[in-house]
Amino acid sequence: MALKETEELNRLTVAAAVSRAICTVAELGVADHVGKGEAVPVATLAQKTGTHERSLHRVLRLLAGRGIFREASAGTFEHTPLSFVLRGDAEGSFRAGARLFHRLFPAWDGLDHSIRTGEPGFNKVFGSPVFDYVMANPEAGPIFDAGMSSIHGYETPAMLDAYDFSGVKVLADIGGGNGSLLTGVLQRYPAMRGMLFDLGHVVGRAQEHLRAAGLSERCQVIEGNFFDSVPAGADAYLFRHIIHDWTDEQSLQILSHSRRVIPQSGRLLLVECVVPPGNDPSASKDFDITMMTFPGGMERTEPEFRALLDRAGFRLTSVTPTATMVSVVEARPV
């Protein structure tokens, strides 16, 4: 019997429990009840979160074995760097992202359906595409916004440190969500003006965000659907984690609208994971399966980006890595 291999496959097979445990303790707010530098009895944590003491202890023990919390003494837990960012008030807090996945976690039951059919498993489980589900459930919108900012917000400073936006007079953020990305760019480049384009149920939240940042006068917010059109008037068009949500044909439709309005000297910027070749683990490969199962999209390799852009009338000119899992894929009109 291949004992070593069996044990390793056992460990990997039950690893779903770790993911689910992270999402659950984030939803319960366990980390918020542990202060920095203190160890808290699990009985106290159970009382404050309304949970079963022994069960909570077992879950925290599991997470501590992965570096999330630390059992300081029998039955008391303190923070590690990983558990601390599950606090809602932590800088770069990941709590909202984990809470979002807590709500959408059942979609993983659709992975088998995705593999067999090529269709999003989310649709099979929830009965509608993920973005339709968010639109149909008003309470899900703010959770989705907060979750996306939590998961991807740390990429903005890294993108700005890696890629030079100098020379861009008007930047259009297509599918710009709540405006957090465009806010970061406009704050770094005070001479730049912005355009944010997104669906009607989103742009109201974007306007509030830009107003709070004092950027309303420098940024135009436009309501629309990028499957129908993309607004003219910018010299650079930015898509962050948009193209990875869609199939090649859907992405081609979006990019073709951009090609019609972008000036010949303009730039198309895709901020996305670029899947590396070879067998090494990569966050981009993990997210690729998430995209396959949830919206039905994909993370792409550099050759796949090049081929897609070529079909849309663009030429890939550079791929700029950042300190995070994303790169800035730059293309110019042919």
Q: What is the DSSP string of 243-297?
A: GGGS-HHHHHHHHHHHHHHS-TT-EEEEEEEBPPSSSS--HHHHHHHHHHHTTS-
Quickly tell me which residue has 């976690």 as its tokens: 105
DSSP label of 164: -
* Residue 90 to residue 242: CA distance in whole angstroms: 27
What type of residue sits at position 58? R
State which H helix or E strand residue 49 sits in: helix 42-49
* Residue 282 to residue 272: CA distance in whole angstroms: 14
* Residue 274 to residue 305: CA distance in whole angstroms: 8
Query: Rounded to whole angstroms, what are the CA distances from 104 to 3, 82, 130, 140, 266?
Result: 35, 22, 9, 10, 38
What type of residue sits at position 55? S
Catalytic residues, by residue number, are 244
71: left (phi over 0), alpha (psi -120 to 50) or beta: beta
Nearest in space to 171 (alpha carbons), one of 189, 145, 147, 158: 189
